[in-house]
Structure 1
Amino acid sequence: MTTPPLHHRVADAFTQVHGGEPTLWVRAPGRVNLIGEHTDYNAGFVLPCAIDRQTLVAARPRSDGQLRVVAADMAGALDAFSTQAPVPHHASAPWANYVRGVVAVLQAELAARGVAVQGADLAIAGDVPQGAGLSSSASLEVAVLHTLSTLQGLGLARPAMALLAQRAENSFVGCQCGIMDQMISACGEPGHALLIDCRSLETRAVPLPSGMAVVIVHSRVQRGLVDSAYNERRRQCEAAAAHYGVPALRDVNLAQLQAGAAGLDATTYRRARHIVTENQRTLDAAEALAKGDLRRLGVLMAASHDSMRDDFEITHPAVDRLVAIAQSAIGPEGGARMTGGGFGGCIVALLPQARVPALQARIAAEYRAPGGEPATVWVCEAAGGVGAA
């Protein structure tokens, strides 16, 4: 059996920088959202699955309160700091702030117990594509949290790790993400999607039908204006919720939306309509998936994409074209839609494994990004959440 390249990279980095061998290996997956876009910060529902691309951490405890971490994917860049003093931001290495943020929130969590965060030697690498909207950052955060929890015997539960990882990203890194990415990386189950209620944080594992492939296709359109557009959409959703007198758009159904539309400007109404209908589509898609009803699932995925294009206005013409090619190649037994924040990035397709070659051939023949690049295709399986590697 050959050594997996990712494992080999991490092992080499650990030995070169720290010397000796690690005592612990941890992996945490990336994710793709099957349906439920921009619903998380509206206290709604999402249906992601973890994928068999991951962040891998090799670790060994230290007794001096120092955390020394080498990033094999960053040309062996090294970061070192004390875990027992306030953790400052790293001014020039953005990757390091995800690790530092995890330590900072863990310090605050353990302070109530009168416990300090112990030091460790870490080596990290991953094969979650970066910049593709597949949550490489959440994968890194959850992997580091599980590593530190295991080394120190903290016994952190998976949902607790997800919340701490989200807090690290919100308060330390500065990205106001919802809970979906960290929750699925922590709590995913092999062969299943996870229906997440983003208000209660209740989860329900939904089995993927046997023989179903999860295919992620990068349009090669780099996502632009994401932060400003994301913040604008969030403000519009909050304004709509205030108009309807509810805490979040999760609390509005379609009949209420239509009945109370007077006085709401047309753009904000369309934004709200996407959220309200997307929440229902997500619940319906979980039911269809559990029943193995790929035809119904395909209809819901197509409606989701149309809503993102027309009501939420977050797709891109090249992504729309890529979705149309995929839907045509898949036919009625499955579906495709844009996934992620929007304005470029990836689509996700669900289809029988036997149809994957035909889908790949159609995309190769018919799609080019605006700059002439072919799409990048990843054929994935639904993986389990964070754990020992």
Structure 2
Amino acid sequence: MHESPMARTSAVFQAAFGAAPSIVVQAPGRVNLIGEHTDYNDGLVLPCAIDYRTVIAARRRDDGVVRVIAADYDDAVDEYRLDAPIDRLDSPMWANYVRGVVRELVQRGLPMSGMDMVVAGDVPQGAGLSSSASLSVAVGMLFATLPGFEEVRPIDIALVAQQAENDFVGCKCGNMDQISSALGAAGHALLIDCRSLEVRPVPIPANAAIVILNSHVARGLVDSAYNARRLQCEEAARHFGVAALRDVSLELLRARGPELDPTVLQRARHVVTENARVLGAATALAAGDLERMGELMEESHASMRDDFEITVPAIDELVGIVKTVIGGAGGVRMTGGGFGGCVVALVPHALVGAIQEAVGRSYRAPNGEQATIYVCNAAAGAGTVAA
């Protein structure tokens, strides 16, 4: 059994700084049940926070120094001052997620303080479960414990984290990951309107397990394919004369879509139909209708495969294996940015064992690895924990 991030951060903090931490915060990763690549199109998403998280153990300093120890990276250290320029590093990447949030908070004129902090987490990295958003939100939550941050709400921290990832790290992600991490609700998915930032908890049926399967097809989000899709969506929105694809109805798409470049039309069709599926999924979940949820997840996967073209053969195969086991009893689809990463299934608890067995028997990643399977619960969002 691996040591928990809570225990690890506290032990490393004690060893490094000779005292116990005075503040401990956590922020969860997330999995998106449905609503892919809709967030940066001002659309709708239905993620939930999961019970894998980033933990930061810390204490304030009075000299304006921020000293960060990464317990998951051989206790590597990054140190800088709040009163000097905070620059982006070529490496390591983890340091830039912390630096970006700290810099964003400084630029907003908030009453910052130096910190000693130790960071550790158990959110699987590179799998599409938002380990980076979890880290960024945790950093925001840590500084939000300072005096003078009383007006800073969880949604504000989410948006600071997104801004840092967009402008400092250089990934033009939407706001879903950070909002999920900051505002998660135990036992619920979150219906997030990425334009109005309205968040509505939607209960997940008690008989349903969230199963996440890491395909071990490596993927990177700070890359050309993601940004290319984003530009295609913006091109489509301009064609229709609207602010974002959120404003395009199926009727408008059918009427004027053929005027678009065929590839751009496919991208737009995915986003417009996916927004409709998210609304249907929220209704189905709230009614405990896993069968309908399954149909919508299947349609979502087909749209990502055929119109948005972000799945890969190994992911399609993994989805197929799970679908064969669950039939109409639940749903399965690729989740995350695409080109690898994870598959999510929402299934009756009774079928989890059969899924694990079938995937273990039939799936191998291109590198020969088996899928790693996580059975998760929908978790509460970021906050302080007892030190």
Are residue 241 (structure 1) and residue 241 (structure 2) matched?
no
Aligned partners of 1:157, 1:58: CA distance in 2, in Å?
Answer: 21
Matches within 5 A, 1:200-239: 200-223=196-219, 227-239=223-235
Decide whether the 8 Å contact of 1:84 with 1:116 is kept in 2: no
* Correspondence for 1:130 among 105, 111, 125: 125
Question: Structure 1, residues 323-355: CA drift from partner, whole Å, max 9, x if none?
Answer: 011111112121000001111111000011111
* Correspondence for 1:373 among 349, 369, 374: 369
SS of the residue corresponding to residue 177 of structure 1 reads: coil
SS of the residue corresponding to residue 83 of structure 2 reads: coil
SS of the residue corresponding to residue 375 of structure 2 reads: strand
Aligned partners of 2:340, 2:381: CA distance in 1, in Å?
Answer: 27
Letter in 2 for 1:148: F
Aligned partners of 2:11, 2:111: CA distance in 1, in Å?
Answer: 30
* Correspondence for 1:272 among 237, 243, 268: 268
Question: Structure 1, residues 33-91: CA drift from partner, whole Å, max 9, x if none?
Answer: 00000001111001100000000111111111111111100100111111233312234
Are residue 173 (structure 1) and residue 193 (structure 2) matched?
no
Decide whether the 8 Å contact of 1:225 with 1:343 is kept in 2: no
Aligned partners of 2:353, 2:235: CA distance in 1, in Å?
Answer: 45
Aligned partners of 2:363, 2:31: CA distance in 1, in Å?
Answer: 21
Which residue does 2:187 correspond to in 1? 191
Aligned partners of 1:285, 1:370: CA distance in 2, in Å?
Answer: 32
SS of the residue corresponding to residue 34 of structure 1 reads: strand
Aligned partners of 1:203, 1:303: CA distance in 2, in Å?
Answer: 24
Decide whether the 8 Å contact of 1:196 with 1:203 is kept in 2: yes
Q: More deviation in 355-364 or 222-231?
A: 222-231
Aligned partners of 1:224, 1:173: CA distance in 2, in Å?
Answer: 13
Letter in 2 for 1:87: I
Aligned partners of 2:190, 2:134: CA distance in 1, in Å?
Answer: 16
The alignment-based identity, stated in percent, is: 58
SS of the residue corresponding to residue 223 of structure 2 reads: helix
Which residue does 1:100 correspond to in 2? 99
Aligned partners of 2:237, 2:5: CA distance in 1, in Å?
Answer: 45
* Correspondence for 1:320 among 316, 319, 330: 316
Decide whether the 8 Å contact of 2:112 with 2:146 is kept in 1: no
How many equivalent residue pairs? Answer: 384
The two structures, once aligned, show a CA RMSD in angstroms of 1.5
Decide whether the 8 Å contact of 1:40 with 1:179 is kept in 2: yes
Unaligned runs of at least 5 residues, structure 1: none
Decide whether the 8 Å contact of 1:69 with 1:80 is kept in 2: yes
Matches within 5 A, 1:146-161: 146-155=141-150, 156-161=152-157
Q: Which runs of 4+ in 1 moved over 3 A?
A: none
SS of the residue corresponding to residue 70 of structure 1 reads: strand
Q: More deviation in 132-141 or 217-226?
A: 217-226
Which residue does 1:64 correspond to in 2? 63
Which residue does 2:345 correspond to in 1? 349
CA shift, 1:15, in A, is 1.3
Sort the Cα spacing of 1:161 and 1:225 in 2 relative to 1 into closer, same or farther, 3 A: closer
Query: TM-score, normalization: structure 1?
Result: 0.96
Decide whether the 8 Å contact of 2:171 with 2:222 is kept in 1: no
Q: More deviation in 221-230 or 242-251?
A: 221-230
SS of the residue corresponding to residue 329 of structure 2 reads: coil
Query: TM-score, normalization: structure 2?
Result: 0.96
Unaligned runs of at least 5 residues, structure 2: none
Which residue does 2:295 correspond to in 1? 299
CA shift, 1:226, in A, is 6.8
Decide whether the 8 Å contact of 2:232 with 2:264 is kept in 1: yes
Sort the Cα spacing of 1:260 and 1:381 in 2 relative to 1 into closer, same or farther, 3 A: same
Aligned partners of 1:361, 1:248: CA distance in 2, in Å?
Answer: 43
